[in-house]
């Protein structure tokens, strides 16, 4: 699949449509695939389904790896002496401060991580490793903890 920037699509829509008539064209915004323009009948014929299923499976695998990393972090935090717990949480708060100073992250994540990091360790670990009212996956994706990259 060809990949083009959203700004390119905006400025050269006719050219992108011509390319899409030959095969799917992915549209990226901030280096993330956000859409695809496909030829007529492409989805009806089932083309691309394997690619989408593979992408969905890869995303689920990545989220599972993030969850496992946060579970491991949670175990380490729960087993650590209070001084080490505080040090790790203070480092995470420092990362959240860096996000805010550099406008590197949405204010929603900054505010939510700050409130989570003020919780007692057991409650923090529970939040990080749960659905967290629908926020769990997104919060693990934007974690202030230094974790191994999946």
Q: Where are the alpha helices (DSSP H) in the chain?
A: 6-11, 13-22, 49-79, 82-101, 107-117, 121-128, 136-141
DSSP structural state of residue 38: -
Position 123 pLDDT exceeds 90 = yes
What string of DSSP letters covers 8-23? HHHH-HHHHHHHHHHS
Share of the chain above pLDDT 90, in %: 64
Q: What is the pTM of this model?
A: 0.63
- Position 2 confidence tier, pLDDT thresholds 50, 70, 90: confident
Task: Provide CB contacts within 8 A for 140, sequence distance 6+.
Answer: 63, 66, 67, 69, 70, 128
Instruction: Tell me the per-residue pLDDT of 44-98, one tens digit each, with 9 for 90 and over.
Output: 666 666 777 778 888 888 899 999 999 999 999 999 999 999 999 999 999 999 9
């Amino acid at each position: 699949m060809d990949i083009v920037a959203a700004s390119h699509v905006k400025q050269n829509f006719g050219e992108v449509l011509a390319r899409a008539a030959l095969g799917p064209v992915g549209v990226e915004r901030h280096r993330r695939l956000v859409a695809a323009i496909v030829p007529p009948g492409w989805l009806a014929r089932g083309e691309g389904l394997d690619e989408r299923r593979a992408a969905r499976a890869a995303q689920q695998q990545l989220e599972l790896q993030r969850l496992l990393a946060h579970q491991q972090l949670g175990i380490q935090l729960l087993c650590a002496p209070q001084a080490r717990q505080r040090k790790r949480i203070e480092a995470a708060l420092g990362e959240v401060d860096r996000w805010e100073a550099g406008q590197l992250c949405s204010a929603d994540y900054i505010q939510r991580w700050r409130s989570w990091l003020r919780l007692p360790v057991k409650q923090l670990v529970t939040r990080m490793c749960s659905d967290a009212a629908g926020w769990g996956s997104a919060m693990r994706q934007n974690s202030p903890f230094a974790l191994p990259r999946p």
